[in-house]
Amino acid sequence: MTTNDWDNERMELAELKPELERLHVASFGWALSCCQRDRAEAEDVLQSVYLKILQGKARYRGEANFKTWLFAVIRKTALGERRAQVRRAWRAVVGADRAVARGRFAAGPLAGLVQAETQTRFLRALDKLPQRQREVLHLVFYEDLSLREAAGVMGVTIGSARQHYDRAKKHLREHLDREEIEHEAHWQRAENSSAIS
């Protein structure tokens, strides 16, 4: 690269940095969703995305909304990290078990303290959905994007995004209802057993 190219790059980064900072919280939330709520993995993914932007491997050329472009890069990076993780897990037998445990709600006692019970049930129901359905719900309800913008992030057509959205709502409703029924049944059993004793 010539000196002129480096100057142009620095200028672009100077303009991009404030935008990246403004969207940092939303970016982290999206990275969490892409990494199945694994906080450490989401941080790694976000750092990899910033590194790509600094190295010029990911360039915003103004073809779409900046947020849409950034979220698409985060999604692609998370998928790549996930594939690499799966490959590593297949190589080490012990690593396979840890990778599965790691991908679930930032496992540990701290997770139970931070998240309310309803939220845990909600996340459990969300986790049962296919990836595309989970993504479209997060982008529309969490990130407040339109369906068109969500389709751009996911790399699908607007029709396909709408289909995923409708199915996701239906399935999530079913899972949440089932979770509530199971929860109520569990508490009723607990109450009955304490009443008897």
Partner 1 sequence: MKLTGSELRIQAQFLELKADDERLTPNFVAIWTQAMTKAERRRPSLRFSYAGVGFVILALFSLVLWSRSWQKQELVVLESPLPPSYLLPTVTNVIQGDEPARPFRPLPRKHRPAHRRSQLLRQQAVINNASAFAVWQSPTSKLLESPAENVLSALPQLTQASLELQSFLPAAELKENK
Is 79 an interacting residue with respect to partner 1 (CB under 8 A)?
no
What is the DSSP code (8-state) at residue 11?
A: H
Site for partner 1 in 156-195 (CB under 8 A): 169, 172-173, 176
**How far, in Å, are 21, 63, 133 from residue 165 at the CA level?**
29, 25, 6
Is 10 an interacting residue with respect to partner 1 (CB under 8 A)?
no
Site for partner 1 in 54-73 (CB under 8 A): 54-55
Chosen residue from 8, 118, 157, 192 binding partner 1 by CB under 8 A = 118
User: Closest approach of Cβ 52 to partner 1, in Å?
Assistant: 9
* Residues, the chain: 197
Give one word for 65, left, alpha or beta, with left for phi > 0 and alpha for psi -120 to 50: beta
Helices first, then strands: H and E counts in the chain:
10, 0
- Distance (Å, whole) CA 147 – CA 1: 39
Chosen residue from 34, 46, 78, 99 binding partner 1 by CB under 8 A = 46
- Distance (Å, whole) CA 156 – CA 25: 25
Dump strand ranges (E) for 26-164: none
Residue where the block lists tokens 């990076």: 77
Is 14 an interacting residue with respect to partner 1 (CB under 8 A)?
no
Is 142 an interacting residue with respect to partner 1 (CB under 8 A)?
yes
CB closer to partner 1, 22 vs 189 = 22
User: Closest approach of Cβ 8 to partner 1, in Å?
Assistant: 16
CB closer to partner 1, 99 vs 125 = 125
- Contacting range for partner 1; rule: CB under 8 A; set: 66-74, 88-96, 116-124, 156-164: 116-124
Is 51 an interacting residue with respect to partner 1 (CB under 8 A)?
yes
- Distance (Å, whole) CA 88 – CA 39: 19
Residues 65, 98 contacting (CB under 8 angstroms): no
Binding site for partner 1 (CB under 8 A): 17, 20-21, 24-25, 28-29, 32, 39, 43, 46-47, 50-51, 54-55, 114-116, 118-119, 122-123, 137-138, 140-142, 146-147, 169, 172-173, 176
